[in-house]
């Protein structure tokens, strides 16, 4: 048996067990430990085999609309029938998929987007500030760079949609420029671009996720956080509205508070304490390439293709696709081909070879049906804080989620408004 109840020597009293050591769990551990909690993080993997490792590394205040946005449904239906398309939902009689899909449809409207935008932005802006602080506190070797992100478009239709969105972004206070093809080219003088234009979100940033995770792990270990890798949490016992024991494959944990992250596995974990948290894994792929030879200066999103391209430590990481459905580790090479083929359409000098299957990373975005995080205290289990469901922007939102977890644990007012993120909003 492992007891996380060790004597307290610091300000905040008590013990905290964090379930899941992706960016959300590690950031939670960091801010909890800073406040003086005795923290343990348990993970079924080795902390490097989750979604927080191979993602595109973009810090995105620009992504202020939830995934359930108007237009995505019609576009998604067109994409469903194309094996190389960036979006896929396997037609399936799975009840959870149908139920998630219905909730998604309910939220794919203008009203939901308008209502959610300031709340998502608030969390993103907080996180960006925290990343700046982390680059001092952890050391800046995780490559945090403030060059913004280029939203590249090739067609009139996308230009129109993107420029409309840019207007809303500006009204919300984001710094951006709308660029024609010559202006985009001037920002990227060393690579030829074939685009109609771009919105340059100057407020965005990027970083190298594997270095961030390694530095965060080293830091929290030095702060006394105990990391328990390769231990799957198999049960969570609770009595009278309180978690009494968390059981993993070979350990039992007793703790004052539990922070439940778990990424794409959150729904199953939450069920163990009677919480209904709808979630669908959204599989995506990425790979590294040396083809650009250090010549790309800015991260970009190739909008029509839904492909992300991020310079990272001299190489470039390319990522994309969203396959919604139960977790499976099959690498669909047709979709990878769709990603590879998109590159020369925007960067004509770069017809990349297909990467080897073993070089392709895959991860599961934890997607809530309304595109909003789950962040807050449980209403029914009073020593449980939930932090998850950050979908396409979990890396971006991780530090804010962690900071807010620590604030809630101390009974403080959170630094950003979390009213829409109630983890039990579907009860």
Ligand X SMILES: Cc1cc2nc3c(=O)[nH]c(=O)nc-3n(C[C@H](O)[C@H](O)[C@H](O)COP(=O)(O)OP(=O)(O)OC[C@H]3O[C@@H](n4cnc5c(N)ncnc54)[C@H](O)[C@@H]3O)c2cc1C
Binding site for ligand X (CB under 6 A): 19-25, 42-45, 50-52, 55-58, 60, 232-233, 261-265, 269, 284-286, 308, 319, 363, 365-366, 388, 390-396
Q: How far is the CB of 275 from ligand X (least distance, A)?
A: 14
Q: How far is the CB of 69 from ligand X (least distance, A)?
A: 17
When the beta carbons of 196 and 331 are compared against ligand X, the nearer one is: 331
When the beta carbons of 365 and 403 are compared against ligand X, the nearer one is: 365
Q: How far is the CB of 253 from ligand X (least distance, A)?
A: 11
When the beta carbons of 240 and 254 are compared against ligand X, the nearer one is: 254
When the beta carbons of 108 and 264 are compared against ligand X, the nearer one is: 264
Distance CA 342, CA 76 (A): 18
Q: How many residues does the chain have?
A: 427
When the beta carbons of 215 and 264 are compared against ligand X, the nearer one is: 264
Q: List beta partners, residue 236.
A: 246
Q: How far is the CB of 156 from ligand X (least distance, A)?
A: 27
- Can you give the C-alpha Rg of the chain in angstroms? 21
Q: How far is the CB of 49 from ligand X (least distance, A)?
A: 7
Q: How far is the CB of 71 from ligand X (least distance, A)?
A: 21
Q: How far is the CB of 8 from ligand X (least distance, A)?
A: 25
When the beta carbons of 240 and 318 are compared against ligand X, the nearer one is: 318
Q: How far is the CB of 308 from ligand X (least distance, A)?
A: 6
Q: What is the 3-state secondary structure (H, E, C) of the chain?
A: CEECCCCCCCCCCCEEEEECCCHHHHHHHHHHHHCCCEEEEECCCCCCCCCCCCCCCEECCCCCCCCCCCCHHHHHHHHHCCCCCCEEECCCCCHHHHHHHHHHHHHCCHHHHHHHHHHHHHHHHHHHHHHHHHHHHCCCCCCCECCCEEEEECCHHHHHHHHHHHHHHHHCCCCEEEEEHHHHHHHCCCCCCCCCEEEEECCCEECCHHHHHHHHHHHHHHCCCEEECCCCEEEEEEECCEEEEEEECCCEEECCEEEECCHHHHHHHHHCCCCCCCCEEEEEEEEEECCCCCCCCCCEEECCCCEEEEEECCEEEEEEEEEECCCCCCCCHHHHHHHHHHHHHHCCCCCCCCCCHHHCEEEEEEECCCCCCEEEECCCCCCEEEEECEHHHHHHHHHHHHHHHHHHHCCCCCCCCCHHHCCCCCC
When the beta carbons of 110 and 235 are compared against ligand X, the nearer one is: 235
Q: How far is the CB of 10 from ligand X (least distance, A)?
A: 25
When the beta carbons of 159 and 246 are compared against ligand X, the nearer one is: 246
When the beta carbons of 2 and 24 are compared against ligand X, the nearer one is: 24
């Amino acid at each position: 048996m492992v007891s996380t109840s060790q004597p307290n020597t610091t300000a905040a009293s008590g013990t905290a067990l964090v379930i899941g050591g992706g960016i959300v769990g590690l950031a939670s551990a960091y801010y909890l430990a800073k406040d003086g909690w005795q923290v343990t993080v348990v993970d079924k993997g080795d902390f490097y085999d989750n979604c927080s490792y191979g993602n595109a590394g973009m810090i995105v205040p620009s992504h202020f609309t939830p995934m359930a946005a108007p237009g995505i449904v019609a576009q998604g239906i067109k994409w469903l029938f194309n094996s190389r398309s960036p979006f896929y939902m396997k037609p399936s009689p799975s009840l959870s998929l149908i139920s998630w899909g219905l909730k998604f449809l309910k939220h794919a409207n203008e009203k939901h987007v308008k209502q959610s935008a300031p709340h998502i932005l608030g969390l993103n802006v907080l996180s960006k500030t925290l990343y700046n602080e982390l680059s001092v506190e952890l050391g800046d070797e995780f490559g945090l760079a403030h060059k913004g992100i280029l939203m590249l478009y090739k067609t009139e239709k996308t230009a129109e949609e993107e420029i409309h969105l840019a207007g809303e972004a500006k009204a919300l206070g984001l710094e951006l420029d709308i660029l024609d093809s010559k202006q985009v080219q001037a920002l990227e003088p060393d690579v030829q671009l074939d685009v109609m234009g771009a919105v340059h979100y100057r407020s965005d940033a990027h970083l190298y996720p594997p270095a961030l995770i390694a530095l965060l792990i080293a830091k929290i270990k030095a702060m006394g956080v105990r990391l328990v890798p390769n231990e799957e949490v198999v049960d969570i016992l609770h009595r009278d509205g309180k978690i009494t024991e968390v059981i993993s494959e070979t350990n039992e944990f007793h703790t004052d508070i539990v922070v439940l992250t778990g990424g794409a596995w959150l729904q199953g974990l939450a069920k163990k304490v009677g919480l209904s948290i709808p979630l669908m894994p959204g599989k995506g792929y990425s790979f590294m390439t040396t083809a650009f030879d250090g010549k790309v200066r800015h991260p970009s999103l190739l909008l029509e293709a839904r492909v992300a391209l991020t310079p990272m430590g001299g190489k470039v990481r390319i990522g994309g696709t969203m396959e919604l459905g139960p977790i499976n580790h099959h690498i669909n090479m047709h979709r990878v081909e769709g990603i590879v083929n998109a590159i020369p359409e925007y960067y004509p000098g770069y017809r990349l070879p297909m990467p080897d299957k073993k070089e392709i990373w895959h991860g599961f975005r934890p997607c809530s049906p309304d595109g909003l995080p789950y962040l807050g205290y449980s209403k029914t289990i009073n020593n449980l804080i939930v932090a998850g469901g950050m979908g396409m922007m979990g890396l971006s939102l991780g530090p804010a989620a962690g900071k807010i977890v620590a604030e809630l644990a101390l009974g403080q007012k959170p630094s950003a408004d979390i009213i829409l993120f109630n983890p039990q909003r579907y009860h």
